[in-house]
């Protein structure tokens, strides 16, 4: 096989793998639907949970029915205070505290427009989701604008979807208590 043919084949494989990744339903889609269904049933507009991987870590979400989930993950310097807030089900206060007074550098946030999980490439004129885990990412399908290659964009999306899925899983468990 000539060098030109190998380069062409490698490019074609990369494009087909990228297209396949975009076509797959993200892990967060089913979890977001399950969480919003549980929140609707419980008539809750906020939920929070402890991060099972960190003793001072917490997750919280504000839910705007049918339109969006605003989610935050962060460490908090006074975890006992957060534990008390969780026991009292003061979920909105936890969200506000995590968003405004978390340990520096520990916060990650998701804006899930549609409350349907992260979408890598929305349809034309559809709102797009964002993830900020230190570097803000807009999942609008325009990786060039964010100075990323398509592969970097898809990798960042997969990582954000994985983290968002972990957060949604914990929030869903809390909502079902």
110 vs 124 pLDDT, higher one: 110
Which pLDDT tens digit goes with each residue over 75-85? 999 999 999 99
pTM of the predicted model, to two decimals? 0.85
Of residues 72, 65, 113, 115, the one with CA closest to residue 94: 72
Residue 5 has pLDDT above 70, yes or no: no
Q: Give the pairing type, strands 57-64 and 136-139.
A: unpaired
- The pLDDT assigned to 118 comes to 97
What are the residue ranges spanned by the domains of the chain? Answer: 25-175
Q: Which residues of 119-151 are buried (b: 16+ CB within 10 A; e: fewer)?
A: bbbeeeeeebbbbebeeebebbbebeeeeeebe
DSSP 8-state assignment for residue 118: -
- The pLDDT assigned to 177 comes to 87
8 vs 113 pLDDT, higher one: 113
Of residues 38, 49, 44, 55, the one with CA closest to residue 72: 49
Of residues 147, 140, 149, 97, the one with CA closest to residue 120: 140
Residue 138 has pLDDT above 50, yes or no: yes
- The pLDDT assigned to 25 comes to 84
Cα separation, 151 vs 135, in Å, equals: 17
């Amino acid at each position: 096989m000539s060098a030109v043919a190998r380069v062409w084949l490698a490019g074609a494989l990369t494009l087909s793998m990228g297209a396949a990744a975009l076509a797959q339903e993200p892990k967060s889609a089913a979890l977001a639907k399950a969480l919003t269904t549980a929140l609707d049933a419980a008539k809750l507009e906020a939920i929070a949970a402890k991060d099972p991987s960190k003793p001072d870590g917490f997750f919280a979400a504000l839910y705007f029915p049918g339109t969006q989930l605003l989610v935050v993950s962060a460490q908090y310097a006074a975890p006992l205070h957060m534990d008390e807030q969780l026991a009292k089900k003061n979920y909105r206060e936890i969200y506000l505290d995590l968003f405004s007074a978390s340990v520096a550098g520990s916060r990650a946030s998701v804006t899930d427009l549609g409350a349907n999980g992260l979408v890598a490439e929305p349809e034309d004129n559809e709102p797009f989701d964002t993830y900020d885990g230190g570097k803000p990412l807009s999942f609008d399908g325009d990786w060039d604008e964010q100075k990323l290659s398509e592969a970097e964009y898809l990798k960042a999306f997969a990582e954000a979807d994985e983290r968002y899925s972990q957060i949604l899983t914990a929030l869903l468990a809390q909502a079902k208590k």
